[in-house]
Amino acid sequence: MFVSSHTFSKAKRSVKWLCLLLTALMLLPTLLVACKPPEPPVTGQPPEGNEPTADPIPLLNEDGSYAFQIIRPDNCSQNVQNAAVSISSAFKAAYGKAPKVGNDYVDKNGIADYPEMEVEILVGPTNRPESVELAKELGVEEYLIRAVDNKIVIVGKNDFCVNVAAAYFISNYLEKSSIYIPNDLNYLGVCDFMYTFTIPKSGANRYEISATAATIQGIYNLTAKNKLYLIDSTVPASSDMLKTMTEDGRWLSVIDRVSLGSDMVKLLELAHDCIKAVVVWDPNIPATINVATTVAGVESGIIMSPSQYETYATDLPDDVKVISLVDKFTGDETGSKKNDAYRWAIREYLATGKCSTAYICSFEDSFGYNMRYTYSRDLAVQKKAFVFDLSPWADEVPKDDQTQKLGTDLATYMMMLETLQEVRGTTKLTEIVGFFPGNKYCESGNDDVWTSKYKGTQVEWEYAYLFTPFQCYWNPSSEFAMNMSFHSDYEPETSLEQNRPEEEIELDDSENMVYMMIVMGDYDSVGSLYTKMTVNWENRFRGKIPLAWSFNPNLIDHYPDIIDYFYKTATPNDYFVANVGGAGWYNPSRVEDTEEQWEMWLAHHKKYFELTDMSVSPDMWDFDAFSPMAEEYITQYATTGAGTLIANQLGHSTTNAKPTVPHIADNGSVLDEISNRFDRNDAVKCAKAWKVDIDKRDDNREGHATFMSCRCVWSTPEYLIQCLDELQKLYPDKEIKVVDPFTYYRLFAESLENN
């Protein structure tokens, strides 16, 4: 884990980086040969044979008891704790019993939990003076093991380096027939760096390179210490996030980089020992790139096109398993080569339990060779996820397979969901990662040859309607979402804690007052969080007004460092709420109304709401209003408030899709509906759209203040301030007051009690 709270001067880091880079270049043929790369270049020399070179540090008393204790910091990461325990375990293996592992805590009276002994092994940044002084000597990626007056001091530039140092110490000094630690022990090591690979900016095979590189990244990052990061200049977020995370004090600020350029041979050499299989997909059947990705995850492999395999076959391991999907699927089973491919994968990999049941991936296949879903294949391979791209419609054929029988895609989709449920059971949830390609299943793909009667939002809503009863929730887009297998390796040093209002605003419940909550969406997916929220977050007007930044909290599994960055750089006017459903998009009205099912959904939501310190879910989409049981459980994770967007787009509603009537739930949480009227390009039009809903709410709030939460899509704070200025012009006799989500629901509850 690349975690550090330390900073390092730019000048020293530059020199150190140059030294490391020169050394790495000389050693590159040796370095790029293993799944778990060999020890990086180091300064100093390890002991050879562990021969006695000086008097030993006294470790045992005459009676055989230990003459020392192991001390770690009282508050430290799991990495440092593991390091101390590993050292203790090594002594136990040698002497049959474990030495004491204590902490460095000292209370205000100067009384220590573990008083200092003459002989100690100090692990990590303890408050002992020896640890403090040695830590000052460390440069980028360095760790130091030194004997100081019978104290064995093990320090690292970051916690990961402490773990590396402990492993080195154990391997070279404790895993011996006779433990001997010289009193002049002094070893300086370098413990960490990362690799980068750049996707070519142009070229006929750019699509294939990107897809292959992503699957290499997924299998390599699964076990490698020095992780692989992909960069694509056409996806600015890939460079921007690397720059952001390497700023002083952030987790990559002390990690050096070794660039592989765009050299596919070097990339294959790096991951050589990780690659157990190569799955060759068939360019004539676009679905096979998804099937190949599924197979690669299960078989610890990568994907290649036939031309790529021909080019790089000699660069693959000699014993690599080659699985070719070329000409494998004929359409004999369903009349569709596309569906034959997916059904084969369902039977061979999903039904047999070889695939993950925690994740499935809705990734656009190679039809049209659109780059947007090449990058996120690292996640699919790393998680062993089943990958698909299927239409949800029973009454029109998809653009990519116009000769199939009506509803064949849908039948395969339902076969996949039913198989998933059979293998996983009904007491666990599955995350669906990825969207649908609008150019194949809705009107955005209309042309002279093929047309669709469905809008994109209808495809979106139909997907959720279909999968919710199968215990699935949606992370609905991973377009251009890069490096999830890299970013997910980050662990925040502290738990996330968001703002609470600094002062309580008193309610003005007069009819000339309008309270608004601005919900900043849609960041319900890894794609939008990665490519859009990171850009809008940097707007210079952020912090001028209270904003409720809305994202799916379970995205912390994929981009924990980015979310941590948002929390750490939030102004007092930045707040965080859940987007579209809560911890993933689902339809509450499609959840079976039983305590067993709702307890499962509640546990899932509470986990992620607690991880992100959330209690508001203002934007829940559904075909019907909440049932009493749904409301009871939803308000147990949305404890401050929840909002709904009820729409019967496809005639699924059984209650005519009536909007939510604002009210207070039994536990005090406020339920409301969210306004979906918004224009993201014209502030005047946006203000007029908001006015429609405000006027409608005024009719039901005669004599009282009006409350309206507004769903805003991919907008900057600057633009929203312009919209609010235009709105105020439309209401010269009203006060428009934007408040934070906690204040919004508190004041709304007071007003509802008055009304």
Which pLDDT value is given to residue 2?
28
pLDDT digits (tens, 9 = 90+) for 581-608: 899 999 999 999 999 999 999 999 999 9
Q: At what angle do helices 717-730 and 683-700 cross, to 10 degrees?
A: 60
Give the whole-angstrom CA distance, residue 429 versus residue 357: 8
Give the whole-angstrom CA distance, residue 198 versus residue 56: 50
Within 8 A by CB and 6+ apart from 61, the residues are 67
HSE value, Cβ hemisphere, 13 Å, CA-based, for 63:
1
pLDDT digits (tens, 9 = 90+) for 350-404: 999 999 999 999 999 999 999 999 999 999 999 999 999 999 999 999 999 999 9
676 and 484 in contact (C-beta within 8 Å)? no
> Two tokens at 182?
């010289």
- Amino acid type, 612: T
Give the whole-angstrom CA distance, residue 533 versus residue 526: 10
Q: Confidence class of residue 53 from pLDDT cuts 50, 70 and 90?
A: low
Ramachandran quadrant class, 294 (left: phi over 0; alpha: psi -120 to 50; beta: rest): alpha
**DSSP line for 29-93:** HHHTT-SSPPPPP-SS---STT---SPBP--B-TTS-BSEEEEE-SS--HHHHHHHHHHHHHHHH
Helices (H), strands (E): how many in the chain? 23, 25
499 and 570 in contact (C-beta within 8 Å)? yes
- Amino acid type, 742: F
Which pLDDT value is given to residue 157?
78
- Amino acid type, 702: E
Sign of CA dihedral 110, 113, 118, 119: negative
Give the whole-angstrom CA distance, residue 478 versus residue 552: 13
The residue assigned the tokens 């049959």 is: 96
- State the first-to-last Cα distance of the chain, in angstroms, to the nearest integer: 54
Which pLDDT value is given to residue 1?
29
CA angle centred on 12, ends 9 and 15, rounded to 5°: 145
Gyration radius (Cα) of the chain, Å: 29
Give the whole-angstrom CA distance, residue 613 versus residue 548: 13
The residue assigned the tokens 């130091």 is: 144
Which pLDDT value is given to residue 256?
72
Residue-range domains of the chain with CATH: 53-190 (3.30.379.10), 194-487 (no CATH), 513-754 (3.20.20.490)
Which pLDDT value is given to residue 176?
75
- Burial call 467-493: b when 16+ CB within 10 Å, e when fewer: bbbbbbbbbbbbbbbbbbbbbbbbbbe
Chain-centre distance for alpha carbon 507: 39
The residue assigned the tokens 């070794």 is: 258
Give the whole-angstrom CA distance, residue 527 versus residue 141: 32
Q: Confidence class of residue 43 from pLDDT cuts 50, 70 and 90?
A: very low
Give the whole-angstrom CA distance, residue 83 versus residue 81: 5
Report whether pLDDT(10) > 60: no
Q: Confidence class of residue 34 from pLDDT cuts 50, 70 and 90?
A: very low
Which pLDDT value is given to residue 754?
86
Give the whole-angstrom CA distance, residue 363 versus residue 211: 12
Which pLDDT value is given to residue 535?
94
> Two tokens at 457?
């939002």
Angstrom CA distances, 718 to 534, 542, 547, 683, 686, stand at 15, 7, 12, 11, 14
pLDDT digits (tens, 9 = 90+) for 499-546: 999 889 999 999 999 999 999 999 999 999 999 999 999 999 999 999
164 and 145 in contact (C-beta within 8 Å)? no
> Two tokens at 614?
């959330």
Which pLDDT value is given to residue 654?
78
Q: Where are the alpha helices (DSSP H) in 150-230?
A: 159-169, 206-220
- Amino acid type, 729: K
Q: Percent helix, strand, coil in the chain (nearest 5)?
A: 40, 20, 45
Give the whole-angstrom CA distance, residue 661 versus residue 75: 48
- Burial call 647-683: b when 16+ CB within 10 Å, e when fewer: bbbeebbeeebeebebebbeeebbbbbbbebbbeeeb
299 and 362 in contact (C-beta within 8 Å)? no
pLDDT digits (tens, 9 = 90+) for 701-727: 788 999 999 999 999 999 999 999 999
Which pLDDT value is given to residue 141?
65
Task: Give strand ranges (E) for 535-590.
Answer: 547-551, 574-578
Within 8 A by CB and 6+ apart from 656, the residues are 648
Which pLDDT value is given to residue 467?
98
Q: What is the mean pLDDT of the chain?
A: 91
Strand partners, 147: 152
Give the whole-angstrom CA distance, residue 709 versus residue 738: 10
Give the whole-angstrom CA distance, residue 608 versus residue 576: 13
